[in-house]
A and B are shown apart, each in its own frame.
Chain A
Amino acid sequence: MKKIKITILSLVLTASTLVAHSQETRIKLNNDAKKSSITYAMNHPLHAWTGVSTDVSSVIVTNEAKNTINQVAVKVTIASFNSKNANRDSHTIEVTEALTYPSVSFASKSIEQHGDSLNITGTLNFHGVNKIISFEATMKKANKKIEVIGNFEFNMTDYNIEPPTLMGIAADDAIKLSFDVIYLE
Chain B
Amino acid sequence: MKTLIISSLVIILAFTEVKAQNDSIPINNLLDELSTNEETIALLPDKMIISQRILWGERGMMRNFNRFELTPSNRQNELKVRRFMLVSHQALGLATLGGMVAQGIVGAKLYNGATNLKDLHETLAIAVNTGYFTTASLSLFAPPKMLNERKGYSSIKIHKTLAIIHLSSMIATNILAGIIESKPEYRPYHRASAYTAFGAYTLSMIVIKF
29 contacts across the A-B interface (CB closer than 8 A): A4-B1, A11-B12, A12-B11, A15-B12, A18-B16, A57-B34, A61-B25, A61-B30, A71-B25, A73-B30, A73-B31, A75-B34, A75-B36, A85-B150, A85-B156, A86-B154, A87-B145, A89-B146, A89-B150, A93-B146, A93-B147, A99-B72, A99-B73, A102-B38, A105-B31, A107-B31, A167-B90, A168-B87, A168-B90
Those of B90-137 within 8 Å (CB) of chain A: 90-91, 94
| A91 contacts chain B at the CB level, 8 A cutoff | yes
Q: Counting CB contacts under 8 A, is A19 at the interface?
A: yes
Given contacts A89-B147, A94-B80, is CB(A19)–CB(B156) below 8 Å?
no
Chain B residues proximal to chain A, CB less than 8 Å? 1, 4-5, 8-9, 11-12, 15-16, 19, 22-25, 27-28, 30-31, 33-38, 41, 43, 45, 72-73, 75-76, 79-80, 82-83, 87, 90-91, 94, 145-150, 152, 154-156, 208-210
With A59-B30, A167-B208 given, can you name 18 additional A-B contacts, CB distance below 8 Å?
Answer: A11-B8, A11-B12, A12-B11, A15-B15, A46-B208, A47-B210, A55-B37, A73-B30, A89-B147, A93-B146, A93-B147, A94-B80, A94-B82, A99-B41, A99-B72, A105-B31, A107-B27, A107-B31
A12 touches B12 (CB 8 A): yes
